[in-house]
Structure 1
Amino acid sequence: MTTHTDPGLTQAGSPSAKGRAFEISIAADKALVAEVRHSVRASLTSWDADEIADDMAVVASELASNALKHAGGEATVRLRLTEGQALLEVDDGSARPPVPRRVGADIEEGRGLLLVQALAADWGWRQRASGGKTVWASLSVPAGCPA
């Protein structure tokens, strides 16, 4: 797992909108999903966004797990915190769109995107020009959280 942190991120197209960001590249090892979850929670806590840290950690865990399960290769997880929003993006090598499923009570998996829908203010996906896709989710940051 490789982690890159940029505490002085300036968003493209908005030179005055400073924020915080980090990026993690993970190999096709589901055990690394716990590291993603921990890194997201720890980063948001250190950035004084504790109120959304647990929810975003769940979102990160679900999206990273889906990327490793369905794409079968590496994934890259990015987290950006700007004023008013935390954005998590997960890149993987699969072009297949994410599809939320309704599953029965006796099935142990398949609820990840339903959790993402329930926790996120918004979520979606897009094809990447280089192949694969990016699945993203955003959470609103409560007023008073510094970016």
Structure 2
Amino acid sequence: MQVLQVQLEVGPDPAEVGRARRWVRSRLAGSGIGEDEPVAETLVLIVSELVTNAVVHTGRPAVLRMQMPGGPQPEPTGTVRVEVSDACARPPLQRHAAGEDTGGRGLELVDGLADRWGWLPEGTGKRIWCEVDRRLPVGGAARGYAARALSTGCG
């Protein structure tokens, strides 16, 4: 199986989060992952949360990388890996937001949506990574959570 790796440099501006979401959608479509596949919106939500954390909590540029099944006819299975690197060495902190809190849910969402995730020190900063296994049909509880979060505007 061929693997496609793509990268986007993200500036230290919260407006960059929207650009990152658009970029991910276009790269997924180019890899054969349709926008109507539940895994597509799951990945967009994960990228949105990780890029938001990198930009808002560090105030520094970040690099978004994705590795996904590629080629002319990609398999409807495989793993998509998302990585966000920033120049802040402070480890990510998974918080547990209370009902009315407007923040603190990012890594909790990533934990619920990704099949695996973690972080590694990288140079003077860190790299947060996660993997989502692409399955057809997608039936995991986490995918249902993504659909509910997107439809209710939670996040």
2:127 counterpart of 1:134:
yes
Deviation at 1:143, TM superposition (A): 5.7
TM-score by length of 2: 0.77
Which of 65, 81, 103 is the equivalent residue of 2:68?
A: 81
Look up the match of 1:122: 116
Please point out which of 55, 58, 68 is paired with 2:42: 55
Q: Which stretch of structure 1 is more off in the superposition, 46-55 or 90-99?
A: 46-55
Instruction: Report the equivalent of 1:67.
Output: 54
SS of equivalent residue, structure 1 residue 56:
helix
Give the alignment partner of residue 18 of structure 2, picking from 34, 42, 61. 34
Structure with the larger strand share:
1
Q: How far is 1:117 from its partner?
A: 0.8
**Contact 2:13–2:59 (CA under 8 A) maintained in structure 1:** no
Supply the distance in 1 between the matched residues of 2:136 and 2:104 (Cα, whole angstroms). 34
Q: Which residue of 2 aligns with 1:111?
A: 105
> How many angstroms apart in 2 are the aligned matches of 1:45 and 1:58?
16
> Match for 2:89: what amino acid?
A
Please list every run of 5 or more consecutive structure 2 residues that lacks an aligned counterpart in the other structure.
70-76, 138-155
What do residues 5-25 of structure 1 show as CA deviations (whole Å, max 9, x unaligned)? xxxxxxxxxxxx521121100
- Is this contact kept in 2: 1:124–1:136, CA < 8 A? yes
Corresponding position of 2:95 = 101
Deviation at 1:103, TM superposition (A): 1.4
Shift of 1:131: 1.1
Determine if contact 1:86/1:139 at 8 Å carries over to the other structure: yes
TM-score w.r.t. structure 1 length? 0.81
Q: Structure 1: which 5+ runs fail to align?
A: 1-16
Q: How far apart in 2 are the matches of 1:76 and 1:19? A: 19
Cα deviations across residues 14-53 of structure 1 (Å, max 9, x unaligned)?
xxx5211211001101101011111112211221223211
**Would you say how many aligned residue pairs link Structure 1 and Structure 2?**
127
Which protein is richer in helix relative to its size? 2
The Cα of 1:67 is off from its aligned counterpart by 0.5
> What percent of counterpart residues are identical?
32
